[in-house]
């Protein structure tokens, strides 16, 4: 319920809960899973673009010359993002350990880019990752 509320907040693009030990995806929203990332058939609109069948906001997406369109819900597959986040958090852990000794750890990690912001909160056996639009400065 908490994850669903978080995922429905304005600007939130995706959420992930990962196993802290292995990086395995426990739950995700907003990203394409490997089994969902199959190329889909899409019908061209009047202006020659293709409407993504999984897109919920009704915006047209540019399709390929063969009329097939990949899902545009996430820019990457959930598995790829999970792997990136997990490796990044391992590096952060090593950084904090070298900086402050073994008794310390990162509690909230934010990475802000031009396109979005990634927030990771390590908690117990899990990592909570939220990717959202970068707020206007």
Kindly report, residue by residue over 50-69, the tens digit of the pLDDT.
333 333 333 333 344 444 43
Please indicate, yes or no, whether residues 21 and 88 belong to a single structural domain of this protein. yes
Beta 40-41 vs 12-19: how paired, if at all? unpaired
pLDDT (0 to 100) of residue 42: 39
Q: Give residues with Cβ within 8 angstroms of 62, minimum separation 6.
A: 49, 50
Q: Count CA atoms within 13 Å of residue 135 on its CB side.
A: 2
Cα–Cα distance for residue pair 129/109, rounded to 1 Å: 9
Q: Is the separation of the CB atoms in 51 and 60 below 8 Å?
A: yes
CA 110 from centre of chain: 14
Domain assignment of residue 10, given as a range: 2-31+74-133
Domain count, the chain: 2
**Are 24 and 81 within one domain?**
yes
Question: Does residue 79 share a domain with residue 27?
Answer: yes
* Residues of the chain falling short of pLDDT 50: 39-74
56, 96: one domain: no
- Whether residue 9 is found in the same domain as residue 63: no
Residue 21 and residue 86 share a domain: yes
Record the pTM.
Answer: 0.67
pLDDT confidence of residue 30: 85
């Amino acid at each position: 319920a908490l994850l669903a509320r978080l995922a429905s907040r304005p600007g939130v693009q995706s959420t992930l809960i990962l196993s802290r030990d292995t990086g395995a995806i426990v739950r995700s929203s907003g990203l394409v899973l490997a089994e969902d990332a199959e190329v889909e058939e899409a019908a061209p609109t009047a202006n020659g673009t293709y409407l993504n069948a999984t897109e919920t906001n009704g915006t047209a997406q540019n399709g390929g010359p063969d009329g097939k369109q990949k899902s545009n819900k996430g820019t990457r597959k959930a598995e790829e993002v999970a792997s990136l986040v997990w490796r990044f958090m391992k590096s952060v852990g090593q950084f904090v350990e070298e900086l402050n000794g073994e008794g310390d750890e990162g509690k909230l990690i934010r990475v802000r880019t031009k396109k979005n912001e990634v927030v990771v909160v390590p908690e117990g056996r899990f990592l909570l990752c939220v990717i959202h639009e970068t707020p206007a400065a």
